[in-house]
Structure formats: C-alpha cells, structure tokens
Chain A
Amino acid sequence: MPTSFIPTAADLLRLSPDIVLTAGGALMMVIEPLTSAARKARMAVIAALLIAAAMALSVMAYSDPGTSFSGMLVVDGFSTFFRILVYGCGLLTVLMSVDYFKRERGSESGEYYVLIVFSLVGQSLMASANELVLIFIGLEVSSIAGYIMAGYLRDDKRNNESALKYFLLGSFATAFMLYGVAWVYGLTGSTNLDTVRRAILGGAMEQSGQMLFVATALMFVGFAFKISAAPFHVWAPDVYQGAPAPVAGFLAAGAKAAAFAMLVRVAASAFFPLTGRWEMLMWATALATMIVGNFAALRQSNIKRMLAYSSVAHAGYILVAVTAQSEVGIAAVMFYLASYALMTIGVFAVVTLVASKGERFVEIEDFAGLVQRQPMLAIALTIFLFSLIGIPLTGGFFAKFYVFKAALDSNLTWLTILGLLNSAVAAFYYLRVLVVMYMKPAAEGAGPVDPAGIGIKAAIVASAVGTLYLGVYPSAVLDFAGKAAQLVK
C-alpha cells in the first residue's frame, strides 16, 4: 500500500484532461444561473473550449505514458486514441446542439453542456482505466449523464419514454456487470486488470475455471448492453428514437466508442488467457448482432429508429474485429469506431436539421426532395450514407475492409463471409433514403429546411471532411491505431 496519498506531478499530468473537464464543468454549474437567458449560448462556447483543452492535454499526457494512481489509470496509445475520439464526439455534439435547443426551447440551456462535459469525463475514464472499479465508476458517470440527456426535453413524451427505458434497462445491465466484477474479485483477489491476468495465468484458471467463465459471461452481459449487441440491443431503437437527435448521435458515437474501448481492454488484458473460450461467445454475438441490426433496419420507416438498428449492426461489424483477438483486430476496432463516430454524428446532425421544430419530420419519407430543398445538406447526407454503406473513398469503406481483413487473418472465414453478406443487406436500407431524397418530389407542405446555424454547419462540415479524409488517407490514423494496439496487454 502506498504511503503517500499526494499524487505526483506525473499522476496529475496523466489525469489532467479529466481534471480540466471536471473543474470546468463544476465552474459552468456556477456560471449558468448567473448568465442571462440571452447569453446562454456562452455555455456552449465554454464547453467547446474545455473539450478542446482536454484534447490538447491528452496529447500532452501521451508524451509521458504509464500508469498512475496505484495502477488505476493507464495512459498509452490506446487510451489516448479513445480519449481524443470521445472528446471529438463531444465537441461535435456541442456544436450541433446549440441550434437544436434554441429551436426546441426558444433559449439555450446551460445544464445540457455541463452534462456533456461530465459524461466525457466518464467516457475518457472508461477508455483509460486499468481497474474494474474505476471502469465501473467511469461507466456510471457516462451512463447517468446519458440517461438525463436522453430525457432532457422533459415536456416531450418521447424524451420521457426514452430516458426511462434507457435508465431502467441500463441499471439492470450494469448490475450484471458489477456482479461479474464481484466474482472476478472473489476468484482472483484483485480488480486490477494486470493482477487479474497474472492470477488467471498463475493457476486461478485450473482451480476455478468454470467460475471464471461465469464471471466473464456476467460482465459480458453488461458490456454487450452498452455496445448494444444482440440480444441486449432492445433498448437502442426506443432510446435513439425518443431522445433529442443530437443526444442520439452522441450516444451512438461517443458512448459506444468508450464502451468498446473498455470491452477491448478487458478482453485483451485481464481475460486474455481465456481467449479460446471467449471466441465462440463473441463469434455468435457478432453474427447475431449483425443479422438482427440489419434485418430490423430494413423494416423501419422512422429514420432515427432505422439509424438505431444500423448502429446495432455496426456494433456487430466491430465485434467481428474483436472476435479476431489480434493486434490487427484491435487496430481495426479503433479505426472503425473513429470513422463510425464521424459518419453517425454527421447523419444525426442532418436529421436534426431536417426534423424541424418539435422533431416533426423524422420519417424517411420526409426526406423526399431534399436535394431540391437543401442541396448542400443532401450532398452531406449522401457522403455519410455512402460511408455507412462502405463505399470506397469514404471512411466506412476502409473501416469495413480492415475489420474483415483482421477476421480473415484470424481464420474467421465464415464470419467474414456472413459479415459481407450482411453489409450487402445494409446497403439496401441506406440506399432507400438516398432514393427518397433524390428521386421523390417533396411532399405538399414540406417547406424549405430551416437555414442551418453556424454550429451545426461546422459539425456537418467537420464530420464530412473527416469521413472523406479517412476514406482517402486512412494510413495516418491506422498507423497510430496499429502502434497503439500493441500496447494493450
């Protein structure tokens, strides 16, 4: 047990992004009531600056990688990648939320941005925690902020339903995970991922192998819920459909990326010795998730619900790479999540705009004639949908390519074939949106889309540029992911 409880300078540097976000978030809570209603837009600016500062600090922290706080927190390439990814998602969400709340409420509301900032602290901790207790607390910070954000417009019935379902099912899934953590502690005497791994290698497996599998299975229930893998995905459509569109984008991109980061780290470090046993479970989950997501998405008429099922399907593709259990697989997961975050936030930003006040236009049919009504928006949506399908020159193409390459390298031939067939099915429902948008004339009464504010414009442009960048020059991000993947042990 360490004798001193004063953190060293290195400890503080490694935690600095979270410290800045926490302190800034608390400060925002103080400033918020002091700001007049007309100036509430400042809160979004403060949040964006805080997130940008956290991004810069996480790059600085990477100059001195290592573990801190008794092995609780680890700063390595993997955690830095995911920190920047979730901060990026947070930044884009802040940008696209400004206009949304002005439109829905008539005024800004500062608490929303504080919730985003705090939720990012949780997600960044999930990505950089090396200890099951810290992972759990990070997860709760992120999730509870998410529950509140999903129900933020509390006078809207859809918001209420979304928040309540998310909260009840989410707490239930977390309980499973926590029970699994308790089993792991009971069997190995530790919650530190490295120590757990050593204990498993050092005989805990022979002694109580089956109990260890039960423990991992219980934890997997919690993980599978958070990444919305089948059969634990049932919450996703209702929550994404009911939540405010920017929040749905944030949950699909940031929260999912952080959940995958935690799943990959736990699987690749603590439970690495159990790889052989995990594989079957992962294989089946990945396949089920792809099939359920894609085939359910085919039948949706509401675009948010369709995107929710598509998000389930994408979780399935990412699980294919997790199943590969290799460094190439981990790098593919990282690349996929980065490009998925950009395209999904982009799509939700477009949906936010088209939906208009009160989110009236969220059926796929409401996109009819979008190319005449708002040509630039239609082009942006085309880029995002192409990327979701996986068409070359977009990030989605290389993401899928690397995932299936990793699977083939690990001899998962059947999973690859079934995955490819699935992505062909997926093309159908994305193309349907494109067909409606380009071929169908606008319905009577569908006026021009409201002009976009500067924030949401910036979010859409940034996502589109990012998506194209990853599709044309994937190597920079991929090289970093490849290097970072070696360190996850």
Chain B
Amino acid sequence: MDALLFLTFAGIAVLCAINLILQTHPISSALSLVGVMGALAVLYLLLGGAFIAAVQLIVYAGAVMVLFLFVIMLLNAQAERTTSKPAIRAWVSVPLLFTFVILLASLIIQRAPAGAAVRFGEFTGGSVANVGRALFTTYLLPFEITSILILIAILGAIVLARKEI
C-alpha cells in the first residue's frame, strides 16, 4: 500500500515537474508547481514527516504559490516567446541530463547499503515537538541565521522594487 502511494505521488511530482518546464504560459507552469509541491507533501507524510508535510502545504503550496500567481496576473504575463535556440543545445543537454539521472539512479540501486533503505512508518520523529526541539537546541544557530536571510530579502525587495531611489 505504502509503495503504491509512493509510486503514485512520486510519479505525479515528476510529471508535474516536467510539465512545468514544457508549458509556455506562466500560469500553467505555476499550477504545475503547485502539483509538485502537493505531491511532495504526500511523500513527506509517507516518510513520517507530518510537520514538514503540513508546512509544505501551508507555506509553499499555499502562501508562496498564491503570491506567485498574484504576481503573474498583476504583471499580466503572456505566453513565453520562444527564441530560436541553436538545436545543438537540446541535442547535447537532454542526453547529458538523462545520463546524469540514470547514473545517479543506478548507483543508488546497486550501491546503497541494504540497511539504509527507507522503510515506511519506521521514522516517528517528525512531530511538531520533535522538529521544534531540534530547531531550538542543536540547530539553534542555523535557525536564527535564517532570519538574516529574510531581512536581506526584505532589503532586496526595497532596493530593487521601490519607485524612486
């Protein structure tokens, strides 16, 4: 059952991700991204990361994507104009990409130690309490430093977007 759910949602995530790149209209791409994020949330849930799954849905699929869509609609973005790229790029990059992915996948399948395989339902440390405790003890410093990132983002928005400087 778990494996079936995993394959279904992993498949949805991959398909949505591919669709995101292939679509030319920004709205379609953004909606595909919502699909990716939703499917990922289910995967986190399967792995026992209940809190992360909830955050993924609320913050990413919810808040972030709504803002994305707002911006796209406000700017009234049209379908992308495709520029004539040299065909050689696609001929080189796509096979390279596939080689890379297949290489990584085969390595994982062949070489991953059997003991390290994921078993669904085994991990139980994904509750709010566990995550919170880790964030405020072991990972206190990175957690606090992230706030600087947000400050910089605010500053960047002011610098790059306000009317007159």
**A residues bordering B, Cβ < 8 Å?**
1-5, 7, 15, 22, 25-26, 29, 68-70, 72-73, 105, 109, 111-112, 114-115, 118, 121-122, 125, 131, 133-134, 137-138, 140-141, 144-145, 147-148, 151-152, 154, 186-187, 207-211, 214
Residues of the A chain whose Cβ atoms lie less than 8 Å from the Cβ of B107: 210-211, 214
Residues of the B chain whose Cβ atoms lie less than 8 Å from the Cβ of A144: 149, 152-153, 156
B45 to chain A, nearest CB (A): 19
Task: Give the docked Cα–Cα distance between A32 and B138 (Å).
Answer: 35
Task: Give the docked Cα–Cα distance between A101 and B158 (Å).
Answer: 17
Q: Is B102 an interface residue (CB 8 A)?
A: no
Mostly, the A contact residues are helix
Q: Are A109 and B165 in contact (CB under 8 A)?
A: yes
Q: Are A25 and B160 in contact (CB under 8 A)?
A: no
B140 touches which of A69, A122, A148 (Cβ 8 Å)? A69
Q: 6 A-B Cβ contacts within 8 A? A: A4-B137, A69-B140, A115-B155, A118-B155, A154-B160, A207-B113
Q: Are B108 and A148 in contact (CB under 8 A)?
A: no
Residue of B nearest to A147 (CB): B156
Q: Are A125 and B145 in contact (CB under 8 A)?
A: yes
Q: Interface residues of B, CB < 8 Å — how many? A: 29
Q: List the 5 shortest-distance A-B pairs measured between CB atoms, nearest first.
A: A69-B141, A148-B156, A70-B138, A72-B141, A5-B136
Residue of A nearest to B103 (CB): A214
Residues of the A chain whose Cβ atoms lie less than 8 Å from the Cβ of B108: 211
Q: How many A-B residue pairs have CB under 8 A?
A: 97
Task: Give the docked Cα–Cα distance between A68 and B144 (Å).
Answer: 14
Mostly, the B contact residues are helix
Residues of the B chain whose Cβ atoms lie less than 8 Å from the Cβ of A209: 111
Task: Give the docked Cα–Cα distance between A3 and B136 (Å).
Answer: 10
Residue of A nearest to B154 (CB): A29
Q: Are A151 and B145 in contact (CB under 8 A)?
A: no
Q: Are B146 and A137 in contact (CB under 8 A)?
A: yes
Q: Are B159 and A5 in contact (CB under 8 A)?
A: no
Task: Give the docked Cα–Cα distance between A156 and B125 (Å).
Answer: 50
Residues of the B chain whose Cβ atoms lie less than 8 Å from the Cβ of A7: 140
Give per-residue flags for B50-68: 1 if the beta carbon is below 8 A from chain A beta carbons, else 0: 0000000000000000000
Q: Is B151 an interface residue (CB 8 A)?
A: yes
Give per-residue flags for B121-165: 1 if the beta carbon is below 8 A from chain A beta carbons, else 0: 000000000000110111111100110110111011011100001
Task: Give the docked Cα–Cα distance between A141 and B152 (Å).
Answer: 8
Q: Are A133 and B142 in contact (CB under 8 A)?
A: yes
Residues of the A chain whose Cβ atoms lie less than 8 Å from the Cβ of B134: 1
Q: Are B142 and A5 in contact (CB under 8 A)?
A: no
Central interface residue in B136, B142, B160, by most chain A CB within 10 Å:
B142
Residues of the B chain whose Cβ atoms lie less than 8 Å from the Cβ of A140: 149
Residue of A nearest to B136 (CB): A5
Task: Give the docked Cα–Cα distance between A69 and B139 (Å).
Answer: 8
Q: Are B138 and A114 in contact (CB under 8 A)?
A: no
Task: Give the docked Cα–Cα distance between A147 and B160 (Å).
Answer: 11
B135 to chain A, nearest CB (A): 9
Given A109-B165, A115-B155, does the pair A122, B141 have CB atoms closer than 8 Å?
no
Q: Are B152 and A72 in contact (CB under 8 A)?
A: no
Q: Are A152 and B159 in contact (CB under 8 A)?
A: yes
Q: Are A134 and B145 in contact (CB under 8 A)?
A: yes
Residues of the A chain whose Cβ atoms lie less than 8 Å from the Cβ of B141: 15, 68-69, 72-73, 134
Q: Is B112 an interface residue (CB 8 A)?
A: yes
Residues of the A chain whose Cβ atoms lie less than 8 Å from the Cβ of B140: 5, 7, 69-70
Residues of the B chain whose Cβ atoms lie less than 8 Å from the Cβ of A70: 137-140
Q: Is B116 an interface residue (CB 8 A)?
A: yes
Residue of B nearest to A211 (CB): B111
B112 touches which of A2, A109, A131, A211 (Cβ 8 Å)? A211
Q: Are A148 and B145 in contact (CB under 8 A)?
A: no
Q: Is B88 an interface residue (CB 8 A)?
A: no
Q: Are A121 and B148 in contact (CB under 8 A)?
A: yes
Q: Is B94 an interface residue (CB 8 A)?
A: no
Residue of B nearest to A3 (CB): B137
Task: Give the docked Cα–Cα distance between A302 and B108 (Å).
Answer: 47
A77 to chain B, nearest CB (A): 21
